C-alpha cells in the first residue's frame, strides 16, 4: 500500500519554510543560447500529451526525457502519443517513466522545464516542488481546488519570480491573437467603459472512464474519474468554465470583484458514480465600479450549447468568441486575417521557451491563481447560498485534499446543499 509520506499541509509548510531559508539560485538551465532543454511531463492525459507536443514544437533543441502519472498505464500510453508526434524529440528511457503519488518528483528532478497537467488538486504541490528545484514551468489551468491551494500557488509564484524562473499558465485564450486584438481595443475604450460581461459555457455531457472498481469511495475510482470529485477538479466551474472567468478577469484588467452570489445544482448527474460535483451554475460578480460579470455554465445532454463572452460598454459591445466589436453608431470591427483556433495552444509554449532562451523570465502564475480564486469564489457562493466577498476567499481555510494518499477508501464530502453547506 503506497502512502504519501507527508500530509498536504505539512508539505506546503515545509516548502514555505525552505523558500524563506534557501539561497536564491539561478534557473537550472542556460537561459540563452541553444543548449538542450530537457522537458518532463507530469500528468499524461489528453491535455498533458497535447501540452507536451506543443512544448516540443516550441523550440529546436528540446527533448522529452521523463514522464510521470499516478497510473503507470497512463504514463506509458501518454508517452506513446507524444512519441508518435515527435519521435526525434522523445528520449524517455524505461527507468524515466514514473508512476505513483510521488512520481512527479523524480520526473521534475530530471528536467529543465516541467509541463504540469495532472488533476488540478495536485497543482499546488507539484508547482511548489518544481519552483523549489529551480525549474521553469508550464502549468495547466486551474491552479487549485480550494483557497489553501491557491495561496500556495501565489507563494510559489513569488518565489519563482525571485529566482528568475519562467512560468506560463494554461489560460489559452489570452494567447489567441484575435482576442488579444479585441481586448486591447476594449482597454483603449473602443466601446467606452465596461458595464457588464455576460459569459457562458453551456456544453453537453462529459467523459466517463472504466475502472477496476465501481466504488466511488475508492481512491483508484476517484483518480480515474477525477473530473467528478471536487478535491481533484474543483467542480466543472473551476476546471472548465474557469476559462470564462479568466477572460472576464482579463477584460476587467485583472481587477477582482467585491462580492459574488450564485445558484445552481445537481439536476442530471444524480448517480453516485458522478462523485460530488454539480452540473449547472449561475454566478453574479459585483465590482466596486458597479460593473457586473454574469457567468452561466452547464453540462447537460440534449440542451442548447453556447460558449461566448458578451461585453457591454457605455459606447458599444463586443462578442469576444465571435470576434466582433461594434461601437455605438459605428461599423462592426473584426480582426483581420484568418483565425486559427489551435494557434493559442502553441503560442503559450512558444512564448515560454522564447523567454527562457532570451533570459527574460515571464511569470503569470500569481495572476492566474487570482483567476482561480475568483472561480472558487463563485463556486462557494453557489454551494453555500451566501454572498461571498473577495476578502472571504483570501482568508478561507478550506482544504479539500486528503490527509494522506493511499490505495484505499477515501471519503469525500457530500454534494453541496445551499443553505446547509457552510463556508469555511
The answer to whether residue 6 scores a pLDDT higher than 90 is no
Task: Give me the residues paired with residue 41 across strands.
Answer: 67, 115
The answer to whether residue 22 scores a pLDDT higher than 90 is no
Q: Which residues contact 202 (CB under 8 A, 6 or more apart)?
A: 296, 297, 298, 303, 304, 305, 306, 307
Domain that holds residue 106: 8-172+347-363
pLDDT, mean of residues 132-142 = 98
The answer to whether residue 159 scores a pLDDT higher than 80 is yes
The answer to whether residue 12 scores a pLDDT higher than 50 is no
Q: Longest Cα pair distance anywhere in the chain, in angstroms?
A: 68
Q: What proportion of the chain, given as a percentage, has pLDDT over 70?
A: 92
254 and 144 in a common domain: no
pLDDT score, position 206 = 87
Question: How many Cα atoms are found within 13 Å in the side-chain-facing hemisphere of 269?
Answer: 26
Q: What CATH code is carried by the domain that includes residue 226?
A: 3.30.360.10
Whole-number average pLDDT of the chain:
92
Would 149 be classed as within a structural domain?
A: yes
91 and 205 in a common domain: no
Say if residue 188 is exposed, middle or buried (CB neighbours under 10 Å; 0-12, 13-18, 19+). exposed
C-alpha to C-alpha distance for 133 and 226, rounded to whole angstroms: 27
42 and 58 in a common domain: yes
Q: What is the pLDDT of residues 203-238, one digit of tens each?
A: 999 888 767 778 999 999 999 999 999 999 999 999
287 and 260 in a common domain: yes
The answer to whether residue 255 scores a pLDDT higher than 50 is yes
101 and 188 in a common domain: no
213 and 100 in a common domain: no
Higher pLDDT among residues 2 and 69, named by residue: 69
Q: Return the DSSP state at 141.
A: S
SS3 at position 247: helix
Peptide bond just before 142 cis, omega within 30 deg = yes
Domain count, the chain: 2
pLDDT score, position 398 = 97
381 and 356 in a common domain: no
The answer to whether residue 44 scores a pLDDT higher than 50 is yes
Whether 43 and 119 have beta carbons less than 8 Å apart is answered as yes
Would 33 be classed as within a structural domain?
A: yes
Q: Return the DSSP state at 121.
A: G
Q: What CATH code is carried by the domain that includes residue 53?
A: 3.40.50.720
The phi-psi region of residue 275 (left if phi > 0; otherwise alpha if psi is between -120 and 50; otherwise beta) is left
Would 405 be classed as within a structural domain?
A: no
221 and 190 in a common domain: yes
Residues in the chain: 424
Within 10 angstroms of residue 47's Cβ, the number of other Cβ atoms is 16
181 and 158 in a common domain: no
The answer to whether residue 169 scores a pLDDT higher than 80 is yes
119 and 14 in a common domain: yes
Amino acid at each position: 500500500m503506497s502512502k504519501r509520506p507527508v500530509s498536504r499541509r505539512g508539505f506546503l509548510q515545509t516548502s514555505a519554510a525552505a523558500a524563506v531559508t534557501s539561497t536564491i539560485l539561478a534557473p537550472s538551465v542556460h537561459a540563452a543560447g541553444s543548449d538542450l532543454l530537457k522537458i518532463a511531463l507530469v500528468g499524461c492525459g489528453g491535455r498533458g500529451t497535447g501540452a507536451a507536443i506543443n512544448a516540443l514544437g516550441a523550440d529546436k533543441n528540446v527533448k522529452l526525457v521523463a514522464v510521470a502519472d499516478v497510473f503507470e498505464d497512463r504514463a506509458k500510453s501518454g508517452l506513446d502519443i507524444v512519441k508518435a508526434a515527435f519521435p526525434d524529440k522523445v528520449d524517455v528511457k524505461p527507468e524515466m517513466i514514473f508512476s505513483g503519488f510521488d512520481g512527479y518528483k523524480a520526473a521534475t528532478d530530471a528536467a529543465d522545464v516541467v509541463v504540469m497537467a495532472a488533476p488540478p488538486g495536485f497543482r499546488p504541490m507539484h508547482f511548489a516542488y518544481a519552483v523549489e528545484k529551480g525549474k521553469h514551468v508550464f502549468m495547466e489551468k486551474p491552479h487549485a481546488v480550494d483557497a489553501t491551494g491557491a495561496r500556495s500557488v501565489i507563494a510559489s509564484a513569488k518565489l519563482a519570480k525571485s529566482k528568475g524562473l519562467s512560468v506560463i499558465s494554461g489560460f489559452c485564450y489570452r494567447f489567441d491573437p484575435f482576442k488579444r486584438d479585441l481586448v486591447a481595443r476594449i482597454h483603449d475604450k473602443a466601446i467606452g467603459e465596461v458595464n457588464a460581461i455576460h459569459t457562458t459555457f453551456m456544453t453537453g455531457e462529459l467523459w466517463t472512464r472504466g475502472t477496476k472498481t465501481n466504488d466511488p469511495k475508492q481512491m483508484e475510482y476517484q483518480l480515474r474519474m477525477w473530473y467528478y470529485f471536487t478535491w481533484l477538479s474543483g467542480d466543472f466551474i473551476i476546471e472548465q468554465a474557469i476559462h470564462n472567468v479568466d477572460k472576464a478577469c482579463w477584460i476587467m484588467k485583472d481587477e477582482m470583484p467585491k462580492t459574488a452570489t450564485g445558484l445552481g445544482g445537481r439536476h442530471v448527474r444524480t448517480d453516485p458514480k458522478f462523485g460530488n460535483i454539480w452540473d449547472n451554475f449561475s454566478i453574479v460578480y459585483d465590482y466596486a465600479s458597479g460593473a457586473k460579470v454574469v457567468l452561466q455554465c452547464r453540462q447537460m445532454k440534449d440542451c442548447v450549447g453556447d460558449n461566448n463572452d458578451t461585453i457591454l460598454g457605455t459606447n458599444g459591445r463586443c462578442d469576444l468568441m465571435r470576434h466582433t466589436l461594434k461601437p455605438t453608431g459605428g461599423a462592426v470591427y473584426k480582426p483581420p486575417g484568418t483565425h486559427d483556433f489551435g494557434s493559442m495552444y502553441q503560442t503559450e509554449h512558444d512564448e515560454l521557451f522564447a523567454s527562457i532562451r532570451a533570459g527574460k523570465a515571464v511569470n503569470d502564475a500569481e495572476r492566474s491563481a487570482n483567476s482561480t480564486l475568483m472561480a472558487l469564489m463563485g463556486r462557494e457562493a453557489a454551494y453555500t447560498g451566501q454572498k461571498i466577498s473577495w476578502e472571504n476567499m483570501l482568508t478561507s481555510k478550506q482544504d479539500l485534499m486528503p490527509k494522506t494518499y493511499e490505495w484505499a477508501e477515501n471519503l469525500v464530502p457530500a454534494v453541496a446543499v445551499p443553505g446547509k453547506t457552510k463556508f469555511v
